[in-house]
Structure 1
Amino acid sequence: MVAVKAEQELLGDIIKWKMPDLYRHLDELGLHWSLVGMKWFICLYADVLPVETVLRIWDAMFYEGSKVLLRVAVTLVKYNKDKLMKTTNFADAVDIFKVMVGEPAVLNCHTFMESIFKETGSMPRARISRMREECTKRVL
């Protein structure tokens, strides 16, 4: 479970890096990334996204590595950033996370897979590795 917890922390750190305003807002609401990413990372999106999309994610994961899972998470969050920024309490933010996987943009696997590479921008493997090490130390 340490690795999953570290990935959740890493997701939070990536959101802080890529969308600092959203990170601050959700932090002020008391939303911790462990509430968001647990199901996504444990089941590799199998219980969350449409089957065709999941298979495409897994295919990309075998090619690019686990960073793809983070790209998917960041893209889901980015698609819903405006809605999340408008939330005024913890419960509303959590509700958005519950339904964001059913967004029309997610249901078309071809469009979604293109967007996970475009929307997330550069995510150098070396930087992600350093961040992952820091996150692992925090959860130990």
Structure 2
Amino acid sequence: MAKATMKMPDEFLMKLSKLGDKTDEIISNVLEAGGEVVLDKVKSNLKGVIGNNTKEKSRSTGELVSSLGLSPTKLDRNGNFNVKVGFNEPRGDGDANAKIANILEYGKSGQPPKPFLKPAKSASRKACIETMKSELDKEIEKL
């Protein structure tokens, strides 16, 4: 039976070993960079739909937009790292930001939907991936 052996350059092996020690930190930085791209798109879409095409004057206080944010990087039970874009709770008036965002996104009886999350997800996908790739390259170059 034939046998082949490949040897990696020492410099490459050293980078891989350094990467192994800092993997969690690098993953966190890369995911947060991608999350910021999505967060910016969601905020701009949300600002565009609030108070737009309404029969009455908008009563928006800006609390929904200001509560939008990015979660810290967390490890789930499957071993995957996640960053989430979402709303802080509670609101000053006692209502839930998630409820109001859901009504805006999907509408309700007498109120047509004004989607802002799904279009932001679709529009920012490529930019998010590219940002995460460039951030990963930067992190690897630092090693």
Pair in the same fold by TM > 0.5? no
Bigger helix share: 1
Q: Which has the higher contact order (CA 8 A, sep 6+)?
A: 1
Normalised by the length of structure 1, the TM-score is: 0.34
Bigger strand share: 2
